[in-house]
Structure 1
Amino acid sequence: MEDTNKAPVLIAGAGIGGLTAALSLHAAGIDTVVLESSRDIRPLGVGMNLLPHGVRELTELGLGDGLAALGVATAEHVFCDSAGNQLFAEPRGLSQGYRWPQYSIHRGELQMLLLERVRERLGPDAVRTGVRLLDFTEDPGAVRVRVRDRARDAEETLEGSALIGADGLHSTVRSRLHPKEGPLSWSGQRMWRGVTVQEEPFLTGRSMVVASDGTASLVAYPIGRNRVNWVCLVRVAEPGPLPEDGAVDTADDYREGRVDDALSHYDGWSLGWLDVRELLKRSEHILEYPMVDREPLSAWGRGRVTLLGDAAHPMYPAGANGASQAVLDARVLAHELARAGDDTPAGLAAYERARVEATANVVHAGRAMERAAGPAMLDRGRLAQIMEFYRKMADSEVAELNARPSLTPSGTGTGTGSDGRATS
């Protein structure tokens, strides 16, 4: 058990990874404060997926019922052409043999669920909003973080036993640790995303659909309350560094897009059981951004400072694994810090040893999956090979995940029973 007289672990960023880290550290008896630049945390964004390895960890934190109430338990992935002809399908989650489901869920609603639990368990002041991280320095026994309180327009310095950069794709912590990295890596694809209210379900009502004509692709899946999340993916350039001259808009999850820009790539599509053009046209808000990642790092941090989630390993959405990997980061972080006791740098080093190579494999698998797509999306045999390759490189195998011991420290009162559901 960590010494409660020590300075708290400071987490930069109140996204899914940062909030899961706060809950996990609290469960391990480690004091934590979350620093969030936004003054008001709202349920922004669109849909996302939590794979069984991510759902297991949140279930063990006692969020199983909340996830079930908010999300849709995905039963299958279905691949088809632009005429709706099925090319390949595979079961997902419980249907695949996992003890935990795969959930399709609204990203903002999951974030708000995590935020509520953090404030319930850690206290109302555990998440400080409107606090922008500026820089940090490290002493042998602590890390000092310089922040600006946006409400007071004043700077202050906070002391922590560690600093966890969970501050997303444009991480300030990462930029200080790795100042010469250069631009993001661009896949050459543009993405448009939206959420549409649709009363009539398609296929099983719990299906994730990936449709393609060999050039443009569409991903669509239900996220609860009669809502369908959709993603349009269109290649417009060759892969390479994201241009910094304004030729390509910056990677930003909340940039407003135009429906006509997306619709122009889907002329002639007729799935039959899903009207693609109506799905796009009836979305109230559309987001547009380039598909980007970064070359994996051999080490994320040093001493008492490290990274987590998108700040550590931004990845393509191929495989729908980003959020689940951030959740795994958070759980392993707490597990290793609890094991290390008072030697916080050793705990952070153990965390990186456990996660750096594993997440690099997921990044590389996502790249390989995306680059093997295109015309291969219309070939049944190639589709099966692509999905099998991704599973081997990125997914937790069913038997391995079902049998793995819990990452929850013993004696904390939270864990899982024989059916995989949370116990307390």
Structure 2
Amino acid sequence: MPADLAVIGLGHLGLPLAQAAVGVGIDTVGYDTDPRPYAELSAGRTPVEGSLSASDIRRMLSGGFRPTADPAELGRVRTAAICAPTPLGPDRTLDLGAVTDAARALAARLRPHTTVLVESAVPPGTTENVVRPLLEEGSGLRAGRDFHLAHSPGRLDPGNRVHVYGNTPKVIGGLTPACTESAAAFYGRLTDKVVRARGPREAEMTKVLETNFRHVNIALVNEMAELCHDLGVDLWDVIRCAETKPFGFEPFRPGPGVGGHGVAVDPGHFPYNSRTPGHPLRMVSLAKEINDRMPSYVIQRCATLLNEHGKSVRGARVLLLGVTYKPDLADQESSPAREIATRLMDMGAQIGYHDPHVLDWRVRDLPVPRADSLYEAAARADLTVLLQHHRTYDLQGLAVKAQLLLDTRGATPAGAAHRL
């Protein structure tokens, strides 16, 4: 049965888009070049943690969402959205393999007058120089003439109950003005505001700027955290005061590392051709270096605290609280918890963990013991480290029970714990 929308890539980008579309009555099919998401969705389960819950998936299915393993479905829609993941490869460039696979799958079935949207986080120029040729060669159609092509960067904040899909503006950059308007007509059904970029490259670069803005500012406060600790200054009180300024300041807070799917992207690593060489953003490279060293700084603070209390890391019982990258979600993508646990294990510590959203956690393919009783585990541990502040944690009570508490999130009451 024909549908209005095909979402290609059923992960952190594709599922929220499908959910929003189904919610406004758009007949939607979901396809992935990887067969595993189809199997999970067909069974009513979420294929990726931290995006949508199993109950969200069941509501989507009952609302008409149809996951499919048949690529022929891609040729029966008015709009197709490529939402494939683009993880960092070993050389620190974005891996476009899933995007090109999605484009090839769509190209073989692409019909005239279809609107093709690219939501995947890609280097500027990818929609025009990578996706467009694949679609044109595979279909025999011409982008901008026979079908519409546009880029719209994903803007998602999992767990945010204020800024949801419907009230978050959508940036759109089409290959031609007609492409932009076709994409705007589609997204106008899903969100309150559509922002038109000059073209696909401007839309793609918007994501680069937004992501790097976050990482650079987190790096700044992470450096401030080390400086303030050395000077005996309460950084969280400094931030509390600074955020009262009504202009020229936006608060960011330090932590044990930067997690999530929006990785810092240095254009110097983009796969440009010889005519348009990459220009490295030195500030982004430095920010990444600072943020990447935060797990090591946490380990240093752990060792120092234990030493000050007459204990060494070797043989110490260390309890890690919160192993996800974001509070109140199960998603562990790029969470610094695993690196911190690995380093502590290498130093001979006995590691345990507690997380209300993660029932099984493995480091180096080995299961890490999960604390059944949080307070009892904290009382037994030589050191408890808060890595993520889930709302279920009673930090005041935890501070009383724990022998030694290191708070990497500044979430405990002043004076109740050692802060990062």
TM over 0.5: no
Q: TM-score, normalised by structure 2?
A: 0.30
Larger-Rg structure:
2
Choose between structure 1 and 2: higher strand proportion. Answer: 1
Choose between structure 1 and 2: higher helix proportion. Answer: 2
Q: TM-score, normalised by structure 1?
A: 0.30
